[in-house]
Amino acid sequence: MMTLFSSPHLHGGNRSQRLMLLVLAAAMPGLLTQIYWFGYGTLFNVVWAILVGLLLEAGVLALRKRPLGFFLKDGSVIVTCLLLALALPPLAPWWLVTVATLFAVLFAKHLYGGLGNNPFNPAMAGYAICLIAFPASMTVWTSPEHYFDLAGQWQWFWQERGNIDAITQATPLDAMKHLQGKTINEMLSANPSVVHYADAMFWVNTAYLAGGLALLALKVFTWHAPGAMLASLGIMAGLFGAGEPDLYASFSDHLFLGATMLAAFFIITDPVTSATSRKGKLIFGAGIGILVYVIRTWGSYPDAFAFAVLLMNLSAPLIDQYSKPKAYGQQP
Amino acid sequence: MRKLFDFPGGVHPAQNKQQSNPGKVLELPLPQRLLVPLSQHIGAPAKPVVKVGEQVQKGQLIAQATGFISASVHAPSSGTISAIDAFPVAHASGLEAMCIELQTDGQDTWHQDIGSADANTLDDQQIRQRMQAAGIAGMGGAGFPSSAKLATDKPIHTLLINGVECEPYITADDTLMQVHSADIIAGANLLLRLLDQAKCIIVIEDNKPQAITVMQQAALEHTDIEILVIPTKYPSGGEKQLIENVTGKQVPKGGIPADLGILCQNVATVKAINDAVYLGQPSIERIVTVTGNGVKQPGNYRIRIGTSVDYVLQQCQAETHANPVILGGPMMGFQLPNTQVPLVKTSNCLIVPDPQELPGKDTSMACIRCGQCEVACPAQLLPQQLYWLAKSDAFDKIEQYNLMDCIECGACAYVCPSQIPLVQHYRYAKGMVRQQAAETRQAEHAKLRFESREQRLLDEVNAKEERRKARAAAAAAAQAAKRAENPGAEDPVAAAKARLAEKKAAEASAPPKKAAEVQVPANHKDLKTAAAIVRTKLKKASKAFADAQAAGHDNTDKLQAMVTELEQRSEAAAKALADFESNMGLDPEAEKLAQVAWAKANAQVRKLTKAAPDESASDTEKSEHQTALTAAQATLDQAKAHLDSIKNPSQEAKS
Amino acid sequence: MDILIYAVAALTLMALVFGGILGYAAKRFKVDGNPIVEQINELLPQTQCGQCGHPGCKPYAEAIANQTDPINRCPPGGETTIKALADLLDVEALPLDAEAGVDSVRKIAYIREDECIGCTKCIQACPVDAILGAAKQMHTVIIPECTGCDLCVEPCPVDCIDMLPVPVTSQTWHWQKPEQLIATDRHPRVVSQGDIPA
């Protein structure tokens, strides 16, 4: 007797692999812009993270007696590692990237049952662990004006040798947080390098926005989570920024500085760890936006996507519980 | 221009409609054998009104609808009824159902009662009667009896005629509209006549330009019939989706379209209504799309109900490549476990795919919760939550996620990047939910019956007790009265005991008298029975005797005589039986052995038959199995003969 | 000293107040009867088969409620019932007690009617009055009422009662759960209807 399949007998040809490839492709403009402004550090991070990630994935799959080729090909670990590496500071040394990847792939993903079963976004979990464990290494940001050349970066990446004080500086969000009695405008006019940094971040964010819009157009995800996140962050920033422009960073600062666009289109759209329904995704995105603003403004970290995303990951089952769509034809 | 609405979800699969050359109806020679299932619709199966061997004419009623939601079945051609039995039918399970088998005589002569009528001279009641008699069931796929659908008491203001045909590959309705546009319009007018004050909208997807043109031409003179073109999107032909698309309203949950004042009918159904009323012809044929790369002569064929799928495939020169044939469309149809099944009123398409065309399922991967299924779902469900719940057998929870509202359209599985067979998960869960509901109902029912039985038994015991008490009271009263009358009488208790013992003895002595009257048994069975009866009597009498002795009654010698007599009788009966057995050459021990041998052989044969190697087995395996089977069969025959000879030695002697 | 008095007074007062509230609540929200027995009984399959060692489902439910019997003694209910009971009582689900019988497909009693001698013994045994007949008349089972408890099989003197599995019809048939097959590198396209846990 032949095996009979239930309908439908037609498939649209959509594959998980295709989705992952599209995400990788859409992140390329952002990666290139980041390299353009901040040097080769990010490239080193990306390559190393993906290598380590693939190795770890293969190792775990072998331990769990799962077919290697089948799962390595799905590309999910590459996406995780890419996003993690993009979020890490360009001056992260090899051991930091390794530890972050290890946490992401081993602890956040496979210990929970692998692809599709992890409650926390693996990239953000890896990032957050390192941010808490190695705060100093996780906050060295290169200035867009001075960064290592390829050889210098190579040396730094492996041996952490070189004069990094010359090439690091506070990020604009950091600077706006620690005003030390000045207004934002006073601080900016006193520090032209911060203004320059902000320009660079604007372009990086724009590149991610472009990639994200492309994914949206290709229907890789729906607009709900990123839309809600950007809207809630924008509204919070707009309200406070308009109220006291001297103390609070403006609407555009919040949307185009830090990891805003990367998070909005690449991180919080991770389907596995977000809420399920479209309504749920709206709540999920809005929650992240609000949390990010709160932590950026009143918390002790200048940027806060990792924590905001993890906190909302925690709430996703609850959101799902209360955001069931109305049944077809159900009277309101 | 009417404002169009949209419905949630939906997908755009490749159409593949040109493959079957819509617009032309091809004919097939009449098959020699037609197999007409009694249940081709939703609802109660029809009841046969013909007998095996009976001659029937084309269009003659052969099975009558039973109940309100049921549809009659008619002979698709003239010929002889050759069987009324269970045959495999077109169902995903491959299970059998009752069918009427008809050997056609090639004359194809209409039954004398089939005749055309002028609808203008018929009153509404007569039109309804003609429709009902024709056994029309929704030809779009669901097969809901049309007369039942029409018999709603809710006011209908819109008649939606469904010519959407949103599934890929199928062009049966497209062709029907191109070829029979006038009949469809006439049928629609008939329905409009029955529905006071309704207007009619015939809805067609924009991928059928010819059908649209033809239908618009045909509807030109009818101001109350509108041809509405909607954009192509699957599943716009689903009833609820169609209604939302056209009116912007959702059919209430658990409700029917009539709640919105809407009645939906498929174009093929409307054409069948036209034929039934104007021509008097029952629903005995339909247009079926035969398509797929495996078919050399694809097209739309006019096919008699009951034609075997095999016959159609053979006539269209289909090459199945050992791929399962799909009945229905690629999105909602099912693979036929067996092609020896008949086409029915709801069969609209046969797809014979080549191996590349509709490939079997790839290995599916883990759900990554991408949510694409939710975007595609036309029923506003959360397909991935349903999937997780179905996978973990959480059947009570899955109902809260409205599993039962799933229309199984397959849009979710179509878009799933992990290729999860979502629809099958849902079908499994639905089946389990229904099964559990049925079990709960049954358990509840059984509990009630158990409790009422317990109550009844208790009542009986109580009633007995009451009666006993009442009798005792009455007796005591009588005794008291007697004593008052005659104080010198003997002790009543002792007297009663004596009476009781006497009665018992009489009882014990009675049966032998009866037994004596019994004539000498002539056969083995009766002898056995007689011996057993006497044995029982003996036991009873011995017990009564022992009881009486223990009680110290005086008439025990009577009983003793009885026991002795019975002992003799019992011995005599046993001897008679043994004599009879030895005379006849019967041997109970041997018979038992033979019976065991026969049962063993029988089991062996059955086991072998069950374990028959399938098609793929090698020739040696097959021949080995055949040899074993033949040997077992021979053993069985031997055992049977032996058993018979022991059981009935006289017969053997005769033969 | 004052402090001690205040403290003792305060505690006494609180004890009185809360005691009063508790007492009132105990009276006001008193639960009548033992609803847990009813709840357990609801979950049992009501075949009244007695395979658990009790004369019917209700007594078994009472035994479970009193914790004198484990939850795994109901063969007709099988896995599902054990799981449901475990959920209800918040205890661990146990495998079915083999002593009580084996979990099997649902069966229904059929009387081979030409062999029936009309002794009415099965009628008396049937816990749900699903057998129809009279003395010296042929008996038959009312199929929709039969729970498949097989209590009628034992008393039949001529062994004419068969327990046959309920046949699957196209009305009761449904798709099976897609099976889970693991693909390997060598056969990445194993035709499977199940998905693979990553």
Give yes or no for C180 touching A (CB within 8 A): no
Contact criterion met (CB < 8 Å) for B401 and A324: yes
C81 CB within 8 Å of a chain B CB: no
- Asked if C184 reaches chain A (Cβ–Cβ under 8 Å), the answer is yes
Would an 8 Å CB–CB cutoff place C191 in contact with chain A? yes
Range from B21-25, B367-371, C192-196 carrying the lowest mean pLDDT: C192-196
Token readout for B338 is: 């067996």
State whether residue B95 sits within 8 Å of chain C by CB. Answer: yes
**Three-class SS state of A34:** helix
CA A308 – CA A124 distance, rounded (Å): 9
Give the residue on C whose Cα is nearest the Cα of B391.
C177
Kindly determine whether residue B427 and residue C175, on different chains, have CB atoms separated by under 8 Å: yes
Determine the residue among B262, B323, B338, B382 to mutate to test chain A binding: the one whose Cβ has the most chain A Cβ atoms within 10 Å: B382
Q: How many CA atoms lie within 13 A of B165 on its CB side?
A: 29
**Is residue B423 very low, low, confident or very high in pLDDT (cuts 50, 70, 90)?**
very high
Locate B621 and state its tokens.
Answer: 């395996």
Chains that touch A (3 or more CB pairs under 8 A): B, C
pLDDT for B82-128, tens place per residue?
Answer: 999 999 998 888 888 899 999 999 888 888 888 887 777 888 888 88
Q: What is the pLDDT of residue C58?
A: 85
Last residue of a domain, one of A149, A169, A189: A169
Q: Which band of pLDDT confidence, cut at 50, 70 and 90, is reported for residue C188?
A: very low
Q: Which of B204-213, B635-644, C55-64 has the lowest average pLDDT?
A: B635-644
* Mutation target vs C (from A3, A4, A66, A79; most C CBs, 10 A cutoff): A66
Residue C94 touches chain A, beta carbons under 8 Å: no
Query: C175 — contact with chain B (CB < 8 Å)?
Result: yes
Q: Is the pLDDT of residue B388 over 50?
A: yes
Going by pLDDT thresholds of 50, 70 and 90, the confidence category of residue B649 is low
Q: Which of B268, B282, B278 is nearest to B178 (CA)?
A: B268
- Beta strand pairing call for C161-165 and C107-111: antiparallel
Distance from the A69 Cα atom to the nearest Cα atom in chain C, whole angstroms: 6
Q: How many CB atoms lie within 10 A of CB C196?
A: 21
Query: What is the token pair recorded at C190?
Result: 């194993």
Pairing of strands B79-88, B199-205: unpaired
Quick check: is A10 in a domain? no
Sign of CA dihedral B522, B528, B530, B534: positive
List of domains in chain C: 35-89 (1.10.15.40), 107-165 (3.30.70.20)
**How far apart are the CA of B362 and the nearest CA of chain C, in angstroms?**
6
Is A5 inside any structural domain? no
* Chain B residues in contact with A275 (beta carbon < 8 A): none
In this predicted structure, the answer to whether residue B585 has a pLDDT above a threshold of 70 is no
- Is A18 touching B (CB cutoff 8 A)? yes
On whether both A230 and A296 belong to a single domain, the answer is yes
- State phi, psi for B103 to the nearest 5 degrees: -95, 120
Q: What is the dihedral of CA B419, B421, B423, B427, to 10 degrees?
A: -170
Please list the alpha-helical segments (H only) found in B352-421: 372-376, 383-391, 395-400, 411-415
- Residue B477's CB is within 10 A of a number of other CB atoms, namely 10
Choosing among B365, B391, B430, which should be mutated to test the A contact, i.e. which has the most A CBs within 10 A? B365
Q: Does B654 or A64 have the greater pLDDT score?
A: A64
Instruction: Choose from C182, C190, C192, C195 for mutation: most chain A CBs within 10 A.
Output: C182
Among residues of chain B, what percentage have pLDDT more than 90? 37
Contacts of C47 in chain B (CB under 8 A): 443, 446
Choosing from A114, A137, A169, the residue where a domain stops is A169
- Identify the bridge partners of residue B27 per DSSP, sorted by sequence position: B302
Q: Report the number of secondary-structure helices (H) and strands (E) in chain A.
A: 16, 0
Strands B285-291 and B299-304: antiparallel
Nearest to B567 by CA among B587, B585, B541, B528: B541
Contact between A70 and C183 using a beta-carbon 8 Å cutoff: yes
CA–CA dist B227, B181 (Å, integer): 12
In a domain, residue A57? The reply is yes
Does residue A11 form part of some domain?
Answer: no
pLDDT tens digit sequence for C103-152 = 567 788 899 988 888 888 888 888 888 898 888 888 899 988 888 888 88
CB contact under 8 A, A117 and C193: no
Pair A145, A320: CB distance under 8 Å? no
Do A312 and A286 lie in one domain? The reply is yes
Q: Give the CATH fold of the B18-335 domain.
A: Rossmann fold (3.40.50)
A117 lies in the same domain as A215:
no
DSSP string, C103-136: ----EEEEE-GGG-----HHHHH-TT--EE--TT
| Structural domain containing residue A148 | 17-169
- pLDDT score of A45: 93
**CA distance to partner chain C, nearest, from residue A63 (Å):** 12
Rounded Cα distance between A221 and A18, Å, is 13
Residues A24 and A157 in one domain: yes
pLDDT top residue among B132 and B606? B132
Q: Cα separation of B372 and A219, whole Å?
A: 9
The alpha carbon of residue C3 is apart from the nearest alpha carbon of chain B, in Å, by: 58
Q: How far apart are CA B44 and CA B64, in angstroms?
A: 11
Summarize pLDDT for B329-345 with one digit per residue, the tens: 999 998 888 889 999 99
**Chain B contact partners (≥3 CB pairs within 8 A):** A, C
User: Which chain C residues contact residue B367 at CB under 8 A?
Assistant: 195
In which band, very low, low, confident or very high, does the pLDDT at B154 lie, cut at 50, 70 and 90? confident
In DSSP notation, B269-289 reads HHHHHHIIIII---S-EEEEE
- Å between A330 CA and nearest CA of chain B: 5
Among the ranges A232-236, B336-340, B597-601, C150-154, which has the highest mean pLDDT value? A232-236
Same domain, A134 and A223: no
Task: Report the residue of chain B nearest C127, measured CA to CA.
Answer: B450
Note whether A6 contacts C191, CB cutoff 8 Å. Answer: no
Question: Is B337–A8 a contact, with Cβ atoms under 8 angstroms apart?
Answer: no
* Co-location of A102 and A219 in the same domain: no
Q: Which of these ranges, A125-129, B141-145, B504-508, B510-514, has the smallest mean pLDDT?
A: B510-514
Give chain A's domain count.
Answer: 2
The DSSP annotation for B51-116 comes to -TT-EE-BT-EEEE--SSS---EE-SSSEEEEEEEEEE-SSTT--EEEEEEEEE-S--PBPTT---
Say yes or no for a CB contact (<8 Å) between B382 and A325.
yes
A261 shares a domain with A218: yes
What pLDDT score does C191 carry?
A: 37
Residue that terminates a domain, selected from A169, A196, A219: A169
B241 Cα to chain A: minimum distance (Å):
10
**Structural domain contains residue A56:** yes
Please give the Cα distance from A188 to A172 (Å, whole number).
9
Q: Which residues share a beta bridge with B101?
A: B35, B83
Best mutation target, A1, A7, A16, A70, to test chain C (most C CBs within 10 A)? A70
Q: How confident is the model at residue C186 (pLDDT cuts 50, 70, 90)?
A: very low
Residue A330 lies in a domain: no
Identify the chains in contact with C, defined as 3+ C-beta pairs within 8 A: A, B
Please give the interface size between A and C, counted as residue pairs whose CB atoms are below 8 Å apart. 32
Chain A hits for B375, CB-CB cut-off 8 Å, are 219, 222, 278
SS3 B530: helix
What H or E segment, with its residue span, contains residue B321?
none
In whole angstroms, give the CA distance from residue B352 to residue B340. Answer: 15
> Does one domain contain both A260 and A312?
yes
Residues of A with Cβ-Cβ distance to C191 under 8 angstroms: 3
Chain C residues lying within 8 Å of B408, measured CB to CB:
none
Give the pairing type, strands B199-205 and B158-163: parallel
Residue in C183, C184, C191 closest to A3 by CB: C191
pLDDT at B521: 46
With cut-offs at 50, 70 and 90, classify the pLDDT of residue C182: very low
At A7-31, the pLDDT tens digits run 888 888 888 888 899 999 999 999 9
Q: Which residue has the higher pLDDT, A324 or C33?
A: A324
- Put simply, the answer to whether A66 touches C196 (Cβ < 8 Å) is yes
Phi, psi of B302, deg, nearest 5: -85, 120
Judged by CB atoms closer than 8 Å, whether chains meet at A276 and B353 is answered as no
User: Does residue C166 belong to the interface with chain A, where contact is any CB pair within 8 Å?
Assistant: no
Higher pLDDT residue, B49 or A245?
A: B49
- Distance CA(B264)–CA(B149), nearest Å, equals 9
Tell me the nearest-neighbour CA distance from C195 into chain A, angstroms: 12
* Residues A230 and A128 occupy one common structural domain: no
Q: Looking at residue A160, what is its pLDDT? A: 79
Which run of H or E residues covers position C179?
none
